[in-house]
Amino acid sequence: MADRKRIVVGVAGGIAAYKACTLVRQLSEAGHSVRVVPTESALKFVGAATFEALSGNPVHTGVFEDVSEVPHVRFGQQADLVVVAPATADLMARAVAGRGDDLLTATLLTARCPVLFAPAMHTEMWLHPATVENVATLRRRGVVVLDPASGRLTGADSGPGRLPEAEEITTFAQLLLERGDALPHDLAGVKVVVTAGGTREAIDPVRFIGNRSSGKQGYAVARVMAQRGAEVTLIAGNTAGLADPAGVDVVHISSAAQLRDSVFKYVPDAQVLVMAAAVADFRPTEVATSKIKKKHGPGEAEAAPVIELTRTDDILAGAVRARTDGQLPNLRAIVGFAAETGDANGDVLFHARAKLQRKGCDLLVVNAVGDGRAFEVDVNDGWLLAADGTESALEHGSKTLMGSRIADAIGAFLRGNDE
């Protein structure tokens, strides 16, 4: 297949090594050629036969095996991506020092492709000054080091240091292959509020007015922003059971009113607001306290009930007004989203430009919807419009790729305002 990539999965010696099996399976099932390069200590947790069966390739740990093939140089040179999961404190320290005393560290020395580390260790190890400095050094060198998840560790311990789930690591691996370059860690210290998913406006205890938003694009933005160093609060509506992104504080809401209240609770401390949620424009004026029943008696009318609607608050426009009025002095970038269709009055971009002017946000992400586009799918494309009149296309790809391009634009906007 044309998009088949060569991926090296390094596995260091930690209890989370067993999770690498799922990662290898997912990357292989995605159509990539996967070669597992464990450390000797990793094989104390998972045997070579398991990795060989999952990857379809032989497994070696030392530089003196298959010497005629020069694997300690060839694996890194030929790889399109190197993923190390779990990356232990010891492995990262050896990578920083430029050690090449086993096949994995030698591969890291010769790799010129994107490199992704997924750390896993006890909280005390992750927070130790040596590890903190090593992570910072790796990131300065262009290595993508994911922040670990928080949760149950070995034994009864709990805290940051848990290996992100395999799906999370696979998502970032695929992103690096799509981007073809590293993901910068350029948003450290930036506080971001992201909204995602659709709202549900109750009609009665059973029924609601909703929309087709899955929340996938907003979750992708939050996920990427967090791994670029931002402190992210994700306000999530109906998201079809999406897993919370690692390193993100998630607030779950249901209605447009709840979304509005949560936004204005968290946004005063934020520098960036990304309004990716699909907020209902209307809600029922009155909500029935009991289920609205059909009429089944003899001679009873079959007419459907009339539901009176009223407009919901425009949260995006409200945030812009609050900033203009000086109520949100910390807020430096407001990003809106527009899901548009063309009509007799104009095409998608015509309506998007009008919305940008009407809303007054700094950046507007535009998606053409309908015919299976944008909603309830894993891919996306569109345009990015800026208040200064610049416009750029967002290439077709995964929603994580689009999330990374949106993060690129936000980072550039913030840097431009600093100059």
Q: Is 191 annotated as a binding residue?
A: no
| Residue 211 annotated in active site | yes
- Tally of CA atoms within 13 A in the half-sphere of 155 that contains its CB: 4
Distance CA 174, CA 194 (A): 22
* Cβ atoms within 10 Å, residue 175: 23
* Torsion of the alpha carbons at 164, 169, 175 and 179, rounded to the nearest 10: 90
Q: What is the largest CA-CA distance in the chain?
A: 90
Q: 248 to each of 214, 229, 374, 396, how far by Cα in Å?
A: 18, 11, 23, 26
One-letter identity of residue 158: S
Q: Is 337 annotated as a binding residue?
A: yes
Distance CA 161, CA 136 (A): 16
CA 280 to chain centre: 24
Q: Is 355 annotated as a binding residue?
A: yes
Distance CA 395, CA 380 (A): 8
Q: Is 281 annotated as a binding residue?
A: yes
Catalytic residue among 134, 211, 238, 380: 211
* Cβ atoms within 10 Å, residue 48: 15
Q: Which of 279, 202, 188, 204 shows the shortest CA–CA distance to 236?
A: 279
Q: Is 375 annotated as a binding residue?
A: no
Provide the annotated binding site: 281, 291, 337, 355, 359
Active site (catalytic) residues? 211
Provide the annotated binding site for CTP: 281, 291, 337, 355, 359
